Amino acid sequence: MEIDEIDLRRIIKYAKSYCEDRCPAEREPSICLALIEVCRILNIEAPPCVEETMGFSKSYFISKIRDIEKRWGKEIREVLREIERSGVRHFEEEIDRMEAEFALKAIKAIDEREITKSKKIARH
C-alpha cells in the first residue's frame, strides 16, 4: 500500500492538532512516538512535547518519576496505589498521578520501540 506524501502530510497535520488539543488528558505514548518519528521522516516540525520532554527521551521520563518519588517519599507504584486508594485530594496530586502514569507508559513504549527496531535490524 502506498500513501501519497501530500495526504500523509495532511494526516500528520491533523494528528498534531488533535494531539495538541487533547494532551495531556488523552495521551498515548506509543502513538506519540509514532507521530514524532513520522514528523522526523517527513521533516515536519514535531509536536511541542518533543522539546518539553528533551526529545521524548527515556531519561526525561525517568527524571520525572524520580521527582515525584522524591516529593512523595515513596516508589512511584506506591504513589499511584495511594492515590488510587484515597482518591485525589488536590490538583497537585492529580498532576502527579497523570505525569507518573504517562512517564511509566512512555518508558515502556520507548523500550518496546527499541526492541522492535533491534529485531528489524537483526533480520536484515
50-99 confidence digits (pLDDT tens): 998 999 999 999 999 999 999 999 999 999 999 999 999 999 999 999 99
Residue 89: domain span: 57-124
* CB contact set of 10 (below 8 Å; sequence gap of 6+): none
Residues 75 and 100 in one domain: yes
pLDDT of residue 120: 76
Residues 74 and 23 placed together within one structural domain of the fold: no
Quote the longest CA-to-CA distance of the chain.
52
Burial class (CB in 10 A: 0-12, 13-18, 19+), 102: buried
Residue 105, C-alpha cell as written in the block: 507508559
Q: What is the b/e burial string over 62-72, where b = at least 16 CB atoms within 10 angstroms of the residue's CB?
A: eebbeebbeeb
Residues 61 and 89 both lie in one domain: yes
Distance CA 92, CA 40 (A): 34
**What pTM value is reported for the model?**
0.85
Is 31:102 a contact under the CB 8 Å cutoff? no
Same domain for 115 and 68: yes
Do 85 and 30 reside in the same domain of the chain? no
Q: Are residues 69 and 15 in the same domain?
A: no
**How many domains is the chain built from?**
2
Residues whose CB falls within 8 Å of the CB of residue 12, separated by 6 or more in sequence, listed in order = 35, 38, 39, 42, 44
Least confident of 2-6, 59-63, 110-114: 2-6
